[in-house]
């Protein structure tokens, strides 16, 4: 197999050849067709997340086919198409796991962060955390659903039922959430980098009733806002944009520091919270909804060997939607 490997933070990934790993008990080996490139991968590469396993193969939006199964694997067969998400393993015995909040597990493993991920031609996974994907849909088009879609879905639930929904940072997650929100008959207000007319047009094309720069106020107060951009300065901006009793949800795993702000922005029962990881139940629900809605992802394909280019294009905002690594460029 081949993989793009991060040996130390803030260095380029290296194209590396390795022996195919053998699945241990409870594991599957997946031959990878496509792997999405997530903002979290940039945080891993930039050394912004604590204690990564190094060297590490990044990538946690994996679509591929099972090509070997270890002892004790039930319900997955060789040849079956599966998705491998960020949540790679949980302990099953800590207080969070027992309470059904496995996204907060005390001893988790995360794909592409603390266990090898999908910037590769093959990967091992714990079979219990893989999602069967069926045969409908293109491999690369499905890949962004595995994190951008899943975290988007979880953050949308945390935002409550409010009709007027603001999305700060209109990238991979927001372009999927906008489609779900519209299906739920909500009104989407899209906030982009100031002056980013192309992304604002992209958001309107996906049904946003308003799109503008994050330096602009919405035309009316929002019921809720979700922040996908990793910029702490957007927290007081979003609090200012929501009505009394409104919610602001921070959906990223890492953010720059939040500047101090006057208490009156939080006053009147506005709420501020973060969303961490996912549960398997989130995945089951979201993949069912995604199929029902017929979500269309916009993907830019990169050959696996060009993972470093995909990451730098993501950092610079050079594409709309999501980047996906594929075995060979389409």
Contact residues: Zn ion, CB under 5 A: 38, 40, 90-91, 94, 97, 105, 147
Would you say 40 or 121 has its CB closer to Zn ion?
40
Token digits for 119?
Answer: 């910037």
Would you say 157 or 213 has its CB closer to Zn ion?
157
Residue in 178, 213, 176 with CA at minimum distance from that of residue 196: 213
The total of other beta-carbon atoms located within 10 Å of residue 126's CB is 21
Nearest distance from C-beta of residue 280 to Zn ion, angstroms: 13
Residue in 201, 153, 147, 194 with CA at minimum distance from that of residue 172: 147
Question: How many angstroms separate the CA atoms of 73 and 257, rounded?
Answer: 43
Would you say 105 or 323 has its CB closer to Zn ion?
105
The total of other beta-carbon atoms located within 10 Å of residue 161's CB is 10
Question: How many angstroms separate the CA atoms of 221 and 239, rounded?
Answer: 10
Which residues 6+ apart lie within 8 Å of 330 measured at CB? 140, 301
Would you say 242 or 250 has its CB closer to Zn ion?
250
The total of other beta-carbon atoms located within 10 Å of residue 2's CB is 15
Nearest distance from C-beta of residue 112 to Zn ion, angstroms: 8
Would you say 197 or 276 has its CB closer to Zn ion?
276
Nearest distance from C-beta of residue 327 to Zn ion, angstroms: 21
Which residues 6+ apart lie within 8 Å of 156 measured at CB? 165, 177, 180, 181, 226
Token digits for 290?
Answer: 């995604």
Nearest distance from C-beta of residue 19 to Zn ion, angstroms: 28
Nearest distance from C-beta of residue 288 to Zn ion, angstroms: 20
Nearest distance from C-beta of residue 94 to Zn ion, angstroms: 3
Helices (H), 171-305: 172-183, 197-205, 234-241, 280-293
Would you say 90 or 200 has its CB closer to Zn ion?
90
Would you say 271 or 285 has its CB closer to Zn ion?
285
Question: How many angstroms separate the CA atoms of 241 and 218, rounded?
Answer: 7
Would you say 141 or 241 has its CB closer to Zn ion?
141
Nearest distance from C-beta of residue 259 to Zn ion, angstroms: 25
Would you say 105 or 222 has its CB closer to Zn ion?
105
Q: What angle do CA 269, 271, 273 make, to 5 degrees?
A: 165
Q: How far is CA 78 from CA 3, 135, 237, 269, in A?
A: 22, 14, 49, 52
Nearest distance from C-beta of residue 205 to Zn ion, angstroms: 24
Nearest distance from C-beta of residue 279 to Zn ion, angstroms: 11
Instruction: Name the CA dihedral angle for 218, 223, 228, 229, rounded to a multiple of 10 degrees.
Output: 30
């Amino acid at each position: 197999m081949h993989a793009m490997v991060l040996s130390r933070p803030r260095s380029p990934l290296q194209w590396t050849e390795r022996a195919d790993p053998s699945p241990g008990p409870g594991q599957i080996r997946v031959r990878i067709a496509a792997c999405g490139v997530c903002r979290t991968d940039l945080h891993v590469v930039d050394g912004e997340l604590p204690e990564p396993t190094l060297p590490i193969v990044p990538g946690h939006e994996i679509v591929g086919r099972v090509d070997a199964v270890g002892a004790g694997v039930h319900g997955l067969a060789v040849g079956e198409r599966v998705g491998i998400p960020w949540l790679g393993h949980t302990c099953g015995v800590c207080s969070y796991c027992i309470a059904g909040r496995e996204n907060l597990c005390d001893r988790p493993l995360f794909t592409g962060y603390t266990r090898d991920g999908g910037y590769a031609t093959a990967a091992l996974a714990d079979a219990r955390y893989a999602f069967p994907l069926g045969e409908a849909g293109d491999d690369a088009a499905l890949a962004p659903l595995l994190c951008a879609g899943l975290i988007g879905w979880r953050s949308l639930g945390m935002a409550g039922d409010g009709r007027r929904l603001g999305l700060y940072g209109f990238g991979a997650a927001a372009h999927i959430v906008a489609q779900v929100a519209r299906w739920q008959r909500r009104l989407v207000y899209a906030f982009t980098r100031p002056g980013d007319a192309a992304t604002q047009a992209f958001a309107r094309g996906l049904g946003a009733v308003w799109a503008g720069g994050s330096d602009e106020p919405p035309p009316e107060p929002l019921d809720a806002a979700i922040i996908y951009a990793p910029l702490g300065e957007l927290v007081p901006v979003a609090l200012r944009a929501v009505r009394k009793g409104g919610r602001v949800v921070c959906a990223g795993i890492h953010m720059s520091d939040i500047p101090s702000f006057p208490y009156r922005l939080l006053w009147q029962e506005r709420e501020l919270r973060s969303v961490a990881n996912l549960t398997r139940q989130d995945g089951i629900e979201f993949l069912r909804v995604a199929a029902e809605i017929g979500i269309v992802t916009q993907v830019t394909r990169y050959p696996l060997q060009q993972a470093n280019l995909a990451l730098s294009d993501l950092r610079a905002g050079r594409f709309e939607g999501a980047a996906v690594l594929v075995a060979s460029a389409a």
